[in-house]
């Protein structure tokens, strides 16, 4: 007859060196890309579909409007307006604020400079692409992509996916041996970001470049026009921000110290039970 022993804490290898290094680089580069991208967006804070800017018909616009008793920030999405004074359109104290789509604390540089924002954005974009290629090559060579990111047929079953969603909604995260690997939601999210959102964002960004457009004229047409490419670039960046926010929230809820240890040192703490 066997009886359960108290759980034993062990440290297991969770992330390889290349994964940890590229993850850290990505964290810094993506923050810089987002902030410099918002600086560029501030130069013309409106988005359109098609080849040309139809100034009277943006699907998204962030602006400051004079209300008679002062300026107010507003954000318009498909013709529906929302007051966003203090953050979007008009930031700062009432009566002493500044007309800016995104506030200065959210842009790189903080002061108005389209040229400097473009220089930062393009410089960081090449680092981002190179870093991503290193991660992908390493993942394919070491088997990280196949072993850790590709879901199994069983995991892709509807019952398994719904159960994982339900566990997350109840904040019940994997423990013990189950925590050794990513769950199906993590795998699908990482695959979608790494192989759909990020490449789409990069290609849309290249489609807006006159130099690239001259060499690859079909790229901008692939997106339906330069303004459509700009909109898709912005939407992808927004979805990535949402992914990062959700990712950070899950880290905080599931044990931040252990998760950070895994990403910094590669070692992840597990509690395992042994029968006796």
Let me know if residue 2 belongs to a domain.
Answer: no
pLDDT at position 255: 84
Query: Beta partners for 98?
Result: 91
Pure H helices in the chain: 17-43, 114-142, 144, 158-169, 184-192, 198-207, 210-215, 217-222, 226-254, 256-265
Cα 152 from Cα 155, distance rounded (Å): 5
3-state SS, residue 9: strand
Q: For residue 83, what are the β-bridge partners?
A: 74
Does 64 lie in the same domain as 35?
no
The CB density around residue 194, as the number of other CB atoms within 10 Å, is: 16
User: Are 38 and 58 found together in one domain?
Assistant: no
Whether residue 17 contacts residue 192, with contact meaning beta carbons closer than 8 Å, is answered with: no
Q: Give the position of tokens 């994964």.
A: 19
Give the bridge partners for 77, in sequence order. Answer: 60, 80
The three-state secondary structure class of 170 is coil
Domain shared by 162 and 188, yes or no: yes
- Residue 139 has which token pair? 């993942």
Provide the angle, in degrees to the nearest 10, between the axes of the packed helices 17-43 and 114-142. 150
Q: How far apart are CA 112 and CA 25, in angstroms?
A: 26
The CATH number linked to 251 is 1.20.950.20
Q: How much is the pLDDT for 273?
A: 64
Residues 183, 66 within the same domain: no
Q: Are residues 71 and 173 in the same domain?
A: no
For residue 66, the cross-strand partners are: 71
Q: By C-alpha distance, which of 254, 87, 107, 248 is closest to 171?
A: 254
**One pLDDT digit (tens) per residue for the chain, 276 residues:** 455 566 677 777 778 899 999 999 999 999 999 999 999 999 999 999 998 888 888 999 999 988 777 788 999 999 899 999 888 999 877 667 889 999 999 999 999 999 999 999 999 999 999 999 999 999 999 888 888 899 998 999 999 999 999 998 888 888 777 777 888 999 999 999 999 999 999 999 998 887 787 788 788 888 999 999 999 999 999 999 999 999 999 888 888 888 888 888 888 888 776 655
Using the 8-state DSSP alphabet, how is residue 110 labeled?
A: S
Looking at residue 10, its pLDDT comes to 79
Q: Which domain holds residue 97?
A: 52-101
268 membership: H or E segment, kind and range: strand 267-272
pTM recorded for the entire structure: 0.88
Domain count, the chain: 2
């Amino acid at each position: 007859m066997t009886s359960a022993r108290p759980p034993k804490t062990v440290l297991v290898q969770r992330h390889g060196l290349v994964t940890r290094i590229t993850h850290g680089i990505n964290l810094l580069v993506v923050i810089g890309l987002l902030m410099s991208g918002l600086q560029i967006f501030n130069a013309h804070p409106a988005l359109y579909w098609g080849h040309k800017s139809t100034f009277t018909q943006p699907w998204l616009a962030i602006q400051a409007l004079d209300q008679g008793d002062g300026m107010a920030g507003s954000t318009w999405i498909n013709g529906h307006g929302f007051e966003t004074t203090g953050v979007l359109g008009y930031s700062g104290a009432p009566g002493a604020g500044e007309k800016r789509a995104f506030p200065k604390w959210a842009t790189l540089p903080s002061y108005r400079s389209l040229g400097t924002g473009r220089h930062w954005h393009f410089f960081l974009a090449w680092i981002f692409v190179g870093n991503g290629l290193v991660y992908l090559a390493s993942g394919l060579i070491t088997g990280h992509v196949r072993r850790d990111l590709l879901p199994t047929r069983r995991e892709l079953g509807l019952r398994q996916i719904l159960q994982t969603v339900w566990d997350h909604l109840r904040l019940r995260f994997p423990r013990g041996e189950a925590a050794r690997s990513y769950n199906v939601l993590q795998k699908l999210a990482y695959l979608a970001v790494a192989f759909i959102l990020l490449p789409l964002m990069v290609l849309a960004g290249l489609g807006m470049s006159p130099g690239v457009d001259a060499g690859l004229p079909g790229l901008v047409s692939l997106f339906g026009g330069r303004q459509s490419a700009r909109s898709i670039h912005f939407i992808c960046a927004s979805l990535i921000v949402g992914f990062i926010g959700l990712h950070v929230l899950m880290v905080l809820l599931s044990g931040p110290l252990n998760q950070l240890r895994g990403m910094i040192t590669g070692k992840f703490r597990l509690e395992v039970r042994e029968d006796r």
